[in-house]
Amino acid sequence: MKLKSAGWLLIALASVVFVGCASTGDDSGAAIEDRSGADTTGASAGSAWSGSELEDPNSPLYTKIIYFDFDQSTIRSDFIEVLRAHAAYLISNRSATLMIEGHADERGSREYNIGLGERRANAIRSFLEAEGVPGTQITTISYGEERPAAFGNDEPSWSENRRGVLVYGG
């Protein structure tokens, strides 16, 4: 058997590995993506959180898109601080719920990309749970390559599309 690549994907799946791979330092992940059906601001009356922290551009909580490297589902080092902030937020706001959307770029087959998107969403979930967030606060969904954020057929678009999106509910 010519097993060309090592089982790094399996390793990534088995545990969330914090690879200190620097490289792709350019992260423009500070934008909030307003998606239809994604309720990112709606704080229900009487809930413990107001939503303001999540909307503060100076807060790490403002970042709600977590980018991934090609064919990878490991959390990049440049997103660890952001995810720790989200974990702390969820722990101190037990009525807040988080939907994690997993996405993939358009290359390769669609259903396999659904699997990749789920692996990315689960990597974020595992990170948050390891930080102490109860699993009951988190749900995940994979859109694979079906909901691209950028529509080009090249690496700049692909790198924007390999992402997890954090969508808060109240």
Contacts with other proteins, residue ranges (CB under 8 A): 1-10, 13-14, 34, 36-37, 71, 106-112, 114-116, 118-119, 122, 140-144, 146-147, 151-153
Specify the residue, 67 or 158, whose C-beta has the smaller distance to other proteins: 158
Question: How many CA atoms within 13 Å lie on the side-chain side of 131?
Answer: 22
Q: What angle do CA 91, 94, 96 make, to 5 degrees?
A: 105
Tell the smallest beta-carbon distance from residue 41 to other proteins (Å).
Answer: 16
Look at the chain and count its residues: 170
Spatial CB neighbours of 26, under 8 Å, sequence gap ≥ 6: none
Closest Cα to residue 73, out of 113, 111, 116? 116
Specify the residue, 10 or 22, whose C-beta has the smaller distance to other proteins: 10
Tell the smallest beta-carbon distance from residue 81 to other proteins (Å).
Answer: 28
The token duo for 21 is: 């791979």
Tell the smallest beta-carbon distance from residue 151 to other proteins (Å).
Answer: 7
Specify the residue, 90 or 114, whose C-beta has the smaller distance to other proteins: 114
